[in-house]
């Protein structure tokens, strides 16, 4: 796969080397030449020192042949515009942009871009770890609008059905594991203490679930 990365800060440099190690072709664009010092010494992909929105820069990087483009600068406006150009003008199959300031997420959403908001996600994960109890998040989708929660069934739920204990809205069971065997549970599935549940949740449903399991300590 041929990937163009826009921005060579900490995120861009880490991503560039990770992709290079997986034997992908990588071209990194940054307007500050010193930014390429962040790259791992063993990185052997291309580097292009230029303003990404200047005429001809994306073409020079090979955007017309690119399989993917990632815009990970500290400027939400640049990321959004580059992502939009890549998807609409050059029809790059996979485009992912970084959101730096959560207040600008609506820009990315308006353009229909796949976005990773490290600030919003990081703050959310720290808050989760502070209150971590029987349940914890194992996967966060989008900017955290939907998460997969792993929950060890408490003693109080012994013999009760999923329909009785789960929030009625914003919660779908993903899997139930018992004695090392997993399956797709139904609403009337009866629980045993010690079962391991994986649930797809909205933040509101997650808060309600944790309150039900053990209050603020859950």
Percentage, residues of the chain above pLDDT 90: 67
pLDDT of 57 > 50? The answer is yes
Q: Is residue 76 part of a domain?
A: yes
19, 94: one domain: yes
Q: Is residue 125 part of a domain?
A: no
Question: Which residue range(s) make up the domain with 211?
Answer: 131-217
Q: Is residue 87 part of a domain?
A: yes
148-181 pLDDT per residue, tens:
988 889 888 999 999 999 999 999 999 999 988 9
143, 88: one domain: no
**Would you say the pTM of this structure is higher than 0.75?**
no
Distance in angstroms (rounded) separating the CA atoms of residues 75 and 59:
21
User: What does the pLDDT read at residue 173?
Assistant: 95
Q: Work out the pLDDT band at 108, boundaries 50, 70, 90.
A: confident
- The gap between the terminal CA atoms of the chain, to the nearest Å, is 43
Q: Is residue 124 part of a domain?
A: no
Contact indicator for 185, 162 with CB cutoff of 8 Å: yes
64, 149: one domain: no
Q: Is residue 137 part of a domain?
A: yes
User: What does the pLDDT read at residue 217?
Assistant: 40
194, 103: one domain: no
106, 138: one domain: no
Q: Work out the pLDDT band at 132, boundaries 50, 70, 90.
A: low
Nearest to 166 by CA among 130, 193, 206: 206
Arithmetic mean of pLDDT over the chain: 90
176, 108: one domain: no
Q: Report residue 151: phi and psi, to 5°.
A: -135, 125
What is the total count of domains within the chain? 2
Q: Is residue 198 part of a domain?
A: yes
13-36 pLDDT per residue, tens:
999 999 999 999 999 999 999 999
Contact indicator for 181, 133 with CB cutoff of 8 Å: no
């Amino acid at each position: 796969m041929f990937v163009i990365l826009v921005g060579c800060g900490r995120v861009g440099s880490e991503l560039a080397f990770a992709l290079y190690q997986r034997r992908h072709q990588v071209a990194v664009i940054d307007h500050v030449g010193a930014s390429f010092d962040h790259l791992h010494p063993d990185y052997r992909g291309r580097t292009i020192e230029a303003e990404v929105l200047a005429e001809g820069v994306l073409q020079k990087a090979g955007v017309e042949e690119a399989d993917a483009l990632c815009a990970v600068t500290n400027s939400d406006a640049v990321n959004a515009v580059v992502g939009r150009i890549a998807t609409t003008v050059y029809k790059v199959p996979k485009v992912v942009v970084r959101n730096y300031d959560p207040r600008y997420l609506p820009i990315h959403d308006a353009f229909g871009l796949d976005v990773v908001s490290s600030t919003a996600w990081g703050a959310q994960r720290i808050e989760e770890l502070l209150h971590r109890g029987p349940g914890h998040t194992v996967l966060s989708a989008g900017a955290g609008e939907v998460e997969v929660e792993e929950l060890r069934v408490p003693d109080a739920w012994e013999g009760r059905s999923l329909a009785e204990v789960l929030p009625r809205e914003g919660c779908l069971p993903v899997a139930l594991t018992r004695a090392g065997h997993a399956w797709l549970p139904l609403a009337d599935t009866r629980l045993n203490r010690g079962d391991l549940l994986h649930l797809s949740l909205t933040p509101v449903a997650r808060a309600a679930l944790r309150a039900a399991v053990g209050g603020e300590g859950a």
